Amino acid sequence: MIEEKRLDRYARLVIEVGLNLLPGQDLLIDAYVEHAPLVRRLAFAAYAAGAHHVDVRYTDDHVTLAQVALAPDEALDWTPPWLVQRIEDAAARQAARLTLHGPPNPDLLTGQDGARVARARMTELQATTLQTVNARLTNWSIVAAPTEGWSRAIFGHSALERLWEAIERVMRLDEPDPTAAWRQHIARLKERAQLLDARRFHALRFRGPGTDLLVGLLPVARWLAADLRTIWGHPHLPNLPTEEVFTTPDPTRTEGTVRVTRPQPLGAATIEGLELRFHEGQVTEARAAIGEDLIRQLLASDPGARRLGEVALVDGTSRVGQMNLIFRAVLLDENATSHIALGQGLAFTVSDDEAPLAAPSINVSRMHLDLMIGGPEIEVDGLEPGGAVVPVLKDNEWVLR
């Protein structure tokens, strides 16, 4: 058993720094059943911070397995209406939302029909959640929640204590004052975002083994660190940990090939060895050593699924990357290295004044799938409108000044 003192310290960081929960706010928590010990301490931390009500929704990968194996085909992506209403109600009442991320059974769906696995994901709920995020209607955060099954997937054997130590390191809980450490870290990431904004690059180019990718950028989209404000002005950190600066790209101007450098988890299934080719903004070819049927189903799920909605830069100073682990969890792996995302664009990267004009230029989709494409062998250059090439990442170091 993980001692309550450790869970309480972790929970306070999540509630006070990640969510920045306000007295009187309601809190919605989404978690796997295996996350229950941490959820209970989060509830105590939330009520201690003045929460009005804590609502918890648990899911179970074994129920998903039963659905994939036996549910009627037409019911696979169905969303119970009350789940959509739950998100809409949270947005209307300015509630906070917390998602625990940590796959308890990463290989449970291995061997199942990939097309059915890809469809079993409540697309209407995902679309509503993405709309809420883009409209900045709630303060929200996604945080890691270690489990025995997750530790086995990473280390090859049960190593929950080792996983907890890794998570505490990347969450800066090894610092004398974790809150101050997070303020300093976020300030450094915001400086990088400001550097990129000042350059006004026309595009980014990623080059390395299997990768030569040009990602066009939107002139009206800003670069951000994961330090957001709600529409009513309340600050929060949407990801803990976070090591990235990101923006939403021009969905019509992606060209070239890219090799995904880490396995891509999708619930209790995995895509490995993924390679994509883009032309005029769209994925035109997709190959994978494992899960090719899964990625093909996702790409066909809606018109925006083949285009990019995010590009993010992460360098070798990332605490997640320095662990030298494949976490097999998007929250961690996307903060280990640079990445792109297929699907829904990030409308909140555009200022409120320019949002009405920029809206048609932002990709629209019912999904947002992060794909890790960086690493020590991948160089990133910024391309200026006049054609000049400016190094941004070289040898896994941030070199833009």
Q: If you write DSSP's letter for every residue of 171-201 in order, what string do you get?
A: TTTTSSSHHHHHHHHHHHHHHHHHHHHHHT-
> Could you tell me the two tokens for 343?
């699907």
Contacts of 262 (CB under 8 A, 6+ apart): 326, 333, 336, 337, 372
State the Cα–Cα distance between residues 339 and 300, nearest whole angstrom.
21
Report the first-to-last Cα separation within the chain, whole angstroms.
Answer: 47
Taking alpha carbons only, the member of 239, 243, 4, 5 closest to residue 101 is: 239
φ and ψ at residue 380, rounded to 5 degrees: -125, 125
**pLDDT digits 0-9 by tens, 312-353:** 999 999 999 999 999 999 999 999 999 999 999 999 998 766
Angle between helical axes of 148-155 and 160-170 (0-180°, round to 10): 90
φ and ψ at residue 148, rounded to 5 degrees: -60, -45
Q: How confident is the model at residue 357 (pLDDT cuts 50, 70, 90)?
A: low
- The reported pLDDT for the residue numbered 265 is 87
The fraction of the chain above a pLDDT of 90, given in percent, is 92
- Domain 4-170 CATH superfamily: Thermophilic metalloprotease (M29) (3.40.1830.10)
**pLDDT digits 0-9 by tens, 51-84:** 999 999 999 999 999 999 999 999 999 999 999 9
Q: How confident is the model at residue 223 (pLDDT cuts 50, 70, 90)?
A: very high
Provide the β-strand partners of residue 343.
368
- The reported pLDDT for the residue numbered 251 is 96
State the Cα–Cα distance between residues 271 and 290, nearest whole angstrom.
5
Q: Is the pLDDT at 355 greater than 90, yes or no?
A: no
- The reported pLDDT for the residue numbered 112 is 92
State the Cα–Cα distance between residues 194 and 341, nearest whole angstrom.
22
Q: What is the mean pLDDT of residues 33-48?
A: 97
State the Cα–Cα distance between residues 267 and 106, nearest whole angstrom.
7
State the Cα–Cα distance between residues 264 and 260, nearest whole angstrom.
8
C-beta neighbour count of 175 within 10 angstroms: 15
φ and ψ at residue 100, rounded to 5 degrees: -90, 130
Over the chain, what is the mean pLDDT? 95
State the Cα–Cα distance between residues 238 and 227, nearest whole angstrom.
7
Q: What is the mean pLDDT of residues 124-137?
A: 95
The fraction of the chain above a pLDDT of 70, given in percent, is 98
State the Cα–Cα distance between residues 328 and 297, nearest whole angstrom.
21
Q: How confident is the model at residue 359 (pLDDT cuts 50, 70, 90)?
A: low
State the Cα–Cα distance between residues 146 and 144, nearest whole angstrom.
6
CA 39 to chain CA centroid, Å, is: 20
DSSP-derived pairing of the beta strands 53-59 and 26-32: parallel
- The reported pLDDT for the residue numbered 360 is 72
Secondary structure class of 401 (helix, strand, coil): coil
- The reported pLDDT for the residue numbered 185 is 97
Q: What is the mean pLDDT of residues 83-98?
A: 98
Q: Of the given ranges (55-59, 124-128, 353-357), which has the lowest mean pLDDT? A: 353-357
For the purposes of burial, counting CB atoms within 10 Å of the CB of 161, is it exposed (0-12), middle (13-18) or buried (19 or more)? exposed
For the whole prediction, is pTM greater than 0.85?
yes
> Could you tell me the two tokens for 214?
């040009």
Spell out the domain ranges in the chain.
4-170, 192-225+242-398
> Could you tell me the two tokens for 54?
């804590």
Helix (H) or strand (E) holding 298: helix 292-299
User: What is the C-alpha R_g of the chain?
Assistant: 20
Q: What is the DSSP letter of 21?
A: P
- The reported pLDDT for the residue numbered 204 is 98
Cis peptide before 241 (omega within 30 of 0): yes
